Amino acid sequence: MSNYKVGYFVGSLAKGSLNRKLANALVRLAPDEVEMREIAFGDLPLYSYDYDADFPKVARDFKDAIAAVDAVLFVTPEYNRSIPGGLKNAIDWASRPWGQNSFTRKPSGIIGTSPGAIGTAVGQQHLKSILSFCNSPMMNAIEAYIQFTPDLISDDGVVNSESTENFLRDYMSEFSNFIGRVFTVFPRSS
């Protein structure tokens, strides 16, 4: 029986996404007390507040999926030194209608991979700013900027580097600890 349900967002919609490989590795390496489930957002239309009075089913289901987890984990690439537009659109949906922000008091973590040397560091700073406004308690450390080298992680999440595997296992363990710490301050929301 898991203690914490973690919903993860893969920021990339690409079929061959490196960040999906990373997410698959994190699912493999999560500690036993953490149950990982993906929260997909690719079918959401572009958000407008015109929808606020009557959210479409796909958006209601999306918000329900966030409500059903204890914490959220963003596994995202950096696009043009920020986060991909699809992920920002999903966050905008989740944050509305006004007064029903899905991220309030929902613990979050951010991790990402890129072939570039700084491994999504700038995009993650943007995401921190967004999640801060959305009132999500974020794990500040361990930071995780993963430079993706060829074959680092297989499609199904097998990590071909012992040091990277150990780091990702530690990251998930610390994220679990962080969720527990948040719950000592805020009541569990699900």
Ligand X SMILES: Cc1cc2nc3c(=O)[nH]c(=O)nc-3n(C[C@H](O)[C@H](O)[C@H](O)COP(=O)(O)O)c2cc1C
Residues making up the chain, counted from first to last: 190
Site string for ligand X, 51-90 (x = CB under 6 A): --------------------------xxxxx---------
Residue 36 Cβ vs ligand X, minimum distance, rounded to whole Å:
17
6, 7, 18, 72: residue in contact with ligand X (rule CB under 6 A): 18
Residue 117 Cβ vs ligand X, minimum distance, rounded to whole Å:
8
β-pair type (71-75, 34-38): unpaired
Q: Decide whether 5 or 88 has the Cβ nearer to ligand X.
A: 88
Candidate segments 11-19, 38-46, 154-162, 179-187, binder of ligand X by CB under 6 A:
11-19
Residue 91 Cβ vs ligand X, minimum distance, rounded to whole Å:
17
β-pair type (108-114, 4-10): unpaired
From the list 151, 157, 92, 153, the residue with the least C-alpha distance to 127 is 92
Cβ contact 91:11 at 8 Å: no
d(CA 101, CA 132): 12
6, 17, 34, 134: residue in contact with ligand X (rule CB under 6 A): 17
Range 98-127, binding ligand X (CB under 6 A): 114-116
Chain centroid, CA 22 distance in Å? 11
Looking from the CA of 190 toward its CB, the CA atoms found within 13 Å total 22
Residue 19 Cβ vs ligand X, minimum distance, rounded to whole Å:
3
6, 7, 19, 110: residue in contact with ligand X (rule CB under 6 A): 19
> In sequence order, which residues have a C-beta less than 8 Å from that of residue 133 and are 6 or more positions away?
none
The helix-helix angle for 121-133 and 85-94 (nearest 10°) equals 10
Q: Decide whether 77 or 137 has the Cβ nearer to ligand X.
A: 77
Query: Interface with ligand X includes 188 (CB under 6 A)?
Result: no
Beta-carbon count within 10 A of 3 CB? 14
Residue 109 Cβ vs ligand X, minimum distance, rounded to whole Å:
17
Which chain residues interact with ligand X by CB under 6 A? 12, 14, 17-19, 77-81, 114-116
